[in-house]
Structure formats: C-alpha cells, structure tokens
Amino acid sequence: MTRRRAPKPASRPEGAGLWQRIRLFRQDMFSSQPERLYRAWMAEVRGPLYRSFLVNDPALVKRVLLEEPEKFPKSAIIHDTLRGLLGDSVFLSNGETWKRQRRILDPAFEQGAVKAFPAMRDAGAAAVVRLGKGGMVEMEAVASMLTADVIFRTLFSIPITSEVATRVFQAFRRYQRAQPLWNIPGLLRLPRWAPRFHSKAARESAAEIRGLLAGLVAARAAEIVEGRAPDDLATRIMTLPDPETGETFTPAEMVDQVAIFFLAGHETSASALGWALYLLAANPDIQARAAAEAMAAPDLGDLSGMPFIKAVFRETLRLFPPVPMMVREAAEACEFRGRNVPKGSLAILSPWHLHRHRRLWDHPDDFDPDRWQTQNGKACKRNAYIPFSAGPRVCSGAGFAMIEGVLLLSMLLAAYRFEAGPEPVPVAHLTVRAKDGINLRLVPRDGSSPEHTDA
C-alpha cells in the first residue's frame, strides 16, 4: 500500500498568551491551534467574555449536529463578517426563517446533481480548452474559475466567460482578499454595536456582487413571466412554492440565496479540487491508478465506474475539509462530558481536527485513498467524517459536490499528467487554501509538449 504524509500546518507554540493567540488566529486559524487538539476529545477555551468548547468526541458531535440541533443554532456573531455578502441567506439564518428557506430550496435542489451534469461536463471541457498545452499552472485559481463556471451554468445557464459572471467572479476575488475570516469583536463576544473590521474594499465588493446578482434575478423574473425561462436552478428556486404556505421567495430573498449558492457552491469545491490534484501530483503511483480509471471509463457520465477516483476525492475531503470548522451557540445551559456549558457558549465542530484525530484514524496525516475500501475506513466514516456537516443543516449541495468532484477530476486526469511543485502550506481563509497557491506542472496526455509558461 502506498501512502504519503499530506501537508499539515505548524501548530501553535505551547504557552502562547491571549493576544498572541488572537494575532495567530487572524493571520491563520490553523497556526493558532495547539497540537493537542488532534488527540483531545474536547477542549475548553475561556476568554474574558466567552467560553468555547471544541468538540472532537464523536458522540458529542452527533449530539450537537444530529440529536439536539435546535439547542445549538448557528452562531450569528461569528458569521457577522459574511452578512454583508450573504444577507439573510440559508447559510446564516436560524429558526423559522431557516426552516422556510430549506423547505423551498431542498426540493429545488433535489435533482440538482442530475440536472447539473451537462453544466459540469461543459465547464470541465471548457477548462481543458483553457489549459491548452499545460505547463506550470497555479491550480487554485484554475479550480476557482472552473467551479464558478459550473455554478453559473447550473444557476443561470450562463458560462463564466459571460460578462456578468466574469464581473461577479472578479468582485468575489477582491472580496476575499479584503475580508478577514473572523471578526475580533465576534471572537471576543463584544456586543453587536461594537465596531466591526469590515474593510471598505470588502463592503464595496460585496455591494457590487449583490448588485450584479440582483440584475440577474430581475432578468430571470421577467423571463419567467414571459414563459421563456430556462429550466435551471434559478428558475426552480424562484418558482417552487413553500409547500406549507404556498409563498415563493421575494426578489430580495432570492439575491441572498443566489449569493450563498455562488459562494458555498464554488469556493468549497474549488478548494477540494485543488488539494486533490496536489495530492495526486505528489503521489504519482496513486495518480497513475486514478488516471487509468478515468481513461478506461467508457462514459464519463457513469461515475459508478470510478470507485477509485471517488475514494481519492473522499480522502481529500478528509485531509483538507474545505469548511475546516463550524460554530454553534448553546441556546441554553447544558453539560459536555460532565462540564458545565453556560448558555451562549460556543460549540466548535472541527472537521479539520476530527478528520486527523490521532485516536480515531490510522495514520491520520497520510494520503491513503484505499482506506475507504477497508472496514476501518467505513467505521471512521460513520463516526468521525463530516466534510459536509450532518443532521438537518447538512450541506444542501453534498450530492452535487461529490458528483462534480469525481467528474472534474476524471476529466482533468484524462487530459493531463500532474507534477507537483513546492509543497503547499494549508491556511484557513473562507475555505482551506494553500498559503502560496498550489503550483503544478501539467503535461498533456496526448503527447503534445507542455508550454513553458508561468500561466
């Protein structure tokens, strides 16, 4: 069995003080975490104004996400940074608002993956054309454009090269550069009126994105009225009524939902795709097996014929869960493993630590897609594997993302051989990214010579 240690960020030095921790947290959430979190079942952090509990015990994770989700709603304070972009979308809402949004979105998305298949395939083919003869490529940027292309084609039936889509994509990149992941007032539980560090650039790009999306929604609303709207995700979300009240989303609510589909639907998949290609590039024997499977598949539309590529994608989501941590808030006082959890405490669920937990996984930092064929892999999958979260707030796009990941990987592997550049260092931005990007060399499999460019 071949396997190799996957990149892992340095942990926080023992004994670091609060301000050093906050500084590390702002700079990179991973470097602010101590090594012992990879072994602990639970860790409590007491701040001056708050308490938070990182939970790694699978039974506790299950309780928070699946058994008592209403007692642990999403923490609004922590997500405040995203509100400028996402409004009151399903990702941030709680209670009745959230329930209503899911009642409309879930049926619209039910056949999402099946219906989106042509969009995924067309976006994959367009990416191969753009990559041409390969050469040195920064894969994160390529993957972001590719998955944004998938999501625009799925939502609005337009490719990323269309003018509005390109403008949204570029504004989003500016937003990411300008927006810190966590806000310090949120972290310290300061009251909501305390100043937030929303930079002007972040506010401006969020407003620009929302303006462009509002234009797309308005145009689609007109097409629906005129009876000439394409049968895509936007049309389904805008026309499907809430089964309980019969109401549809208002145009303003629609902009919130489109914004989250764009964000959640492309950032996460791009992160996973970039890391999967790095892991394959760094492990040529595993890449050869995956590429052989892709090239032997008579029809790339039949993903059941690609169990190994699926295992590669699952293993990538284990080592580099695109959403590294999720935050919930205790709605009432309770106990975790015999300790008092006061009302308002934060419960932090960390796929990043859970997926590399020393006591839950064999050789946790190794890239080993074969683990998914073994009994141990399956047991851990049940107990300690939550790349898409779990329970009622599970990712709406999980099925979509699995199909997208396997299909795009197989298309890229069939077209190119990937060679690894310098080892990337994982950092937590909106999703798990590489500090200096993922630089790979692409060699076309059709025998044409790679370009010597720094594309």
Q: Which residues in this chain contact ligand HEM in the complex, by CB under 6 A?
A: 90-91, 102, 260-261, 264-265, 268-269, 272, 317, 322-323, 326, 387-389, 393, 395-397, 400-401
Residue with tokens 């926080």: 12
Q: Given the complex with ligand HEM, which of 348 and 450 has the nearer CB atom?
A: 348
Q: Given the complex with ligand HEM, which of 186 and 265 has the nearer CB atom?
A: 265
Nearest approach, Cβ of residue 328 and ligand HEM (Å)? 8
Nearest approach, Cβ of residue 322 and ligand HEM (Å)? 4
Phi, psi of 419 (to 5 degrees): -115, 135
The Cα 33–Cα 221 span in angstroms is 47
Nearest approach, Cβ of residue 4 and ligand HEM (Å)? 22
Element (H, E) at 328: strand 326-329
Q: Given the complex with ligand HEM, which of 135 and 176 has the nearer CB atom?
A: 176
Q: Given the complex with ligand HEM, which of 78 and 206 has the nearer CB atom?
A: 78
Q: Given the complex with ligand HEM, which of 61 and 135 has the nearer CB atom?
A: 61
Q: Given the complex with ligand HEM, which of 102 and 121 has the nearer CB atom?
A: 102
Is the CB of residue 365 less than 8 Å from the CB of residue 106?
Answer: no
The Cα 436–Cα 28 span in angstroms is 13
Quickly list DSSP for 178-241: H--SS-HHHHTT--TTSPP---HHHHHHHHHHHHHHHHHHHHHHHHHHHT---SSHHHHHHHPP
Helices (H), 43-111: 58-62, 76-86, 95-110
Nearest approach, Cβ of residue 323 and ligand HEM (Å)? 4
Q: Given the complex with ligand HEM, which of 256 and 421 has the nearer CB atom?
A: 256
Nearest approach, Cβ of residue 357 and ligand HEM (Å)? 17
Nearest approach, Cβ of residue 354 and ligand HEM (Å)? 12
Nearest approach, Cβ of residue 140 and ligand HEM (Å)? 14
Contact partners, residue 377, CB within 8 Å, separation at least 6: 371
CA dist list (Å): 49 to 166, 185, 189: 43, 11, 6
One-letter amino acid at 292 equals A
Nearest approach, Cβ of residue 105 and ligand HEM (Å)? 7
Nearest approach, Cβ of residue 272 and ligand HEM (Å)? 4
Q: Given the complex with ligand HEM, which of 115 and 133 has the nearer CB atom?
A: 115
Phi, psi of 321 (to 5 degrees): -60, 120
Nearest approach, Cβ of residue 387 and ligand HEM (Å)? 5
Coil/strand/helix, residue 131:
helix
One-letter amino acid at 6 equals A
Mutual angle of helices 139-156 and 112-131, in 10-degree steps: 140
Q: Given the complex with ligand HEM, which of 135 and 395 has the nearer CB atom?
A: 395
Largest alpha-carbon pair distance within the chain? 65
Instruction: Specify the DSSP class assigned to residue 91.
Output: T
Nearest approach, Cβ of residue 88 and ligand HEM (Å)? 12
The Cα 181–Cα 65 span in angstroms is 23
CA dist list (Å): 333 to 71, 187, 330: 9, 20, 7
Is the CB of residue 164 less than 8 Å from the CB of residue 172?
Answer: no
Q: Which residue is nearest to ligand HEM (CB)?
A: 397
The Cα 427–Cα 109 span in angstroms is 31
Q: Given the complex with ligand HEM, which of 217 and 401 has the nearer CB atom?
A: 401
Neighbour count for residue 36 (Cβ, 10 Å) = 12
Q: Given the complex with ligand HEM, which of 135 and 311 has the nearer CB atom?
A: 311
- At 143, list the tokens: 């993957």
